[in-house]
């Protein structure tokens, strides 16, 4: 944000040094949300030119801490070999390995496309034992995990797990470049971001690297299934809710065929018919490409009425895993759609998730 003295003339659009960005004038005294981090929901009014240091931020939502849970935001930058070449820029301000201490209100991001994670841990009764880790990448993929109340992470912490919520590149709240960097790179950029974050946190925190599990739904399930296939030595269990496992087979049955093509990096129009190269590329970017390498036990939860990610996706993965001797269980919920939010399904799904994690992480 740059100040401009409107008393000397009307505001002008400015050129940003990055070729894929531009800056537009803002109305005088406009209310602006804080965009440096998704975690603080604040607004402010722009002061007059020369008084920018006096800006007063107003919090939109009071934060009520939970004394039994501690949490910290972890800013990360991808290693050089994982930078998106279209958007990578000069770096500054983060420590060795790309992992910085917990973010404060005075922290700033380096230019380029960075990402963040939220690490939650039980804060009482730990003793000297190392905590098992549950990694929960969000769905979307253009969504975000915020530093606000979420039932599953909070409950898992109370049970005794550390929980890592990863906002990989492509998540909302980090600028349009971040969002635009992911289509065409799903199954690679987002997967590597999550894995890099997991590896960094395991190095920095007192967590049990031999007890790591994945929990994800929709695109989060897509990532979970990718990770157990691409990095089978890292994860000991997986819970996937209505996961995307094969974009090529999903496109003919989903209510969002545009998602399959767009995230794979192809243009979409209502009359689009994928050609052979499109089918091949969608399969190449899908978890089914790595199913032969999966070793972790997998619990699948599917909504029988899901039109977004049809249950045939999970059934396809289930059959492939069973054929290869991987420990797998399938829960199919009638009269439930993509959210699996029916009261019975929510309760049953949560209990089975916890039991699966406790069993296979030997907690």
pLDDT of 52? 75
255 to 66, 139, 147: CA distances (angstroms): 39, 16, 31
Confidence of residue 324 (pLDDT cuts 50, 70, 90): very high
Active-site choice (178, 218, 249, 286): 218
pLDDT of 9? 52
Q: Which parts of 265-342 fold into alpha helices (H)?
A: 276-284, 312-323
pLDDT of 267? 93
pLDDT of 19? 43
* pLDDT tens string 286-322: 999 999 999 999 999 999 999 999 999 999 999 999 9
* pLDDT tens string 142-194: 999 998 888 899 999 999 999 999 999 999 999 899 999 999 999 999 999 99
Find the CATH number of the domain harbouring 222: 3.40.50.1820
The encoded tokens of residue 183 equal: 């289509």
If asked whether residues 98 and 208 sit together in one domain, one would say yes
CA geometry: angle at 241 spanning 296 and 237, to 5°? 15
Contact 74, 94 (CB under 8 A): no
Domain that holds residue 300: 69-246+286-360
pLDDT of 43? 75
Confidence of residue 13 (pLDDT cuts 50, 70, 90): very low
143 as an active site residue: the answer is no
> Is 251 a member of any domain?
no
pLDDT of 299? 98
pLDDT of 99? 52
Please give the Cα distance from 285 to 351 (Å, whole number): 32
Half-sphere exposure of 254 (CA within 13 A, CB side): 21
Please give the Cα distance from 310 to 317 (Å, whole number): 12
Is 34 a residue whose pLDDT tops 50?
no
**In the chain, how many domains are there?**
2
Active-site choice (114, 177, 193, 306): 306
348 as an active site residue: the answer is no
User: Following DSSP, what letter does each residue of 85-137 receive, concatenated?
Assistant: TTT-----S--GGGB-SPP-TT--PPSS--EEEEEEEE-SS-TTPPEEEEEEE
If asked whether residues 12 and 152 sit together in one domain, one would say no
Please give the Cα distance from 71 to 75 (Å, whole number): 13
Please give the Cα distance from 111 to 93 (Å, whole number): 10
pLDDT of 274? 79
> Is 268 a member of any domain?
no
If asked whether residues 99 and 74 sit together in one domain, one would say yes
> Is 346 a member of any domain?
yes
306 as an active site residue: the answer is yes
> Is 258 a member of any domain?
no
pLDDT of 88? 58
Please give the Cα distance from 265 to 252 (Å, whole number): 17
If asked whether residues 40 and 94 sit together in one domain, one would say no
């Amino acid at each position: 944000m740059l100040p401009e003295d409107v008393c000397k003339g009307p505001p002008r659009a400015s050129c940003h040094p990055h070729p894929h960005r531009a800056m537009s004038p803002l109305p005088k005294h406009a209310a602006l949300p804080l965009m440096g981090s998704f975690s603080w929901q604040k607004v402010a009014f722009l002061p007059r030119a020369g008084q920018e240091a006096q800006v007063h931020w107003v919090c939109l939502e009071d934060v009520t801490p939970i004394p039994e849970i501690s949490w910290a935001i972890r800013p990360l930058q991808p290693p050089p070999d994982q930078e998106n070449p279209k958007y990578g820029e000069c770096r500054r301000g983060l420590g060795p390995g790309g992992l910085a201490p917990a973010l404060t209100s005075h922290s700033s991001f380096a230019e380029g496309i960075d990402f963040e994670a939220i690490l939650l841990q039980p804060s009482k009764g730990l003793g000297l034992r190392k905590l098992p880790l549950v990694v929960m990448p969000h769905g979307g993929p253009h969504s975000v995990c915020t530093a606000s109340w979420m039932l599953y992470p909070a409950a898992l912490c109370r049970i005794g797990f550390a929980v890592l919520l990863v906002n990989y590149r492509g998540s909302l709240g980090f600028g349009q470049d971040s969002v635009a960097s992911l289509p065409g790179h799903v199954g690679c950029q987002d997967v590597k971001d999550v894995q890099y974050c997991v590896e960094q946190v395991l190095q920095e925190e007192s967590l049990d690297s031999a007890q790591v599990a994945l929990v994800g739904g929709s695109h989060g399930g897509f990532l979970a299934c990718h990770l157990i296939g691409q990095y089978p030595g890292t994860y000991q269990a997986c819970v996937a809710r209505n996961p995307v496992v094969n974009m090529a087979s999903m496109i003919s049955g989903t209510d969002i065929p545009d998602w399959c093509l767009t995230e794979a990096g192809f243009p979409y129009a209502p009359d689009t018919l994928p050609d052979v190269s499109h089918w091949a590329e969608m399969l190449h970017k899908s978890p089914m490409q790595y199913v032969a390498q999966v070793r972790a036990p997998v619990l699948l939860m599917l909504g029988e009425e899901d039109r977004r990610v049809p249950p045939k996706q999970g059934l396809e993965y289930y059959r492939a895993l069973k054929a290869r001797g991987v420990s797998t269980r399938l829960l199919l919920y009638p009269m439930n759609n993509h959210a699996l939010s029916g009261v019975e399904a929510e309760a049953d799904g949560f209990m089975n998730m916890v039991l699966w994690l406790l069993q296979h992480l030997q907690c």
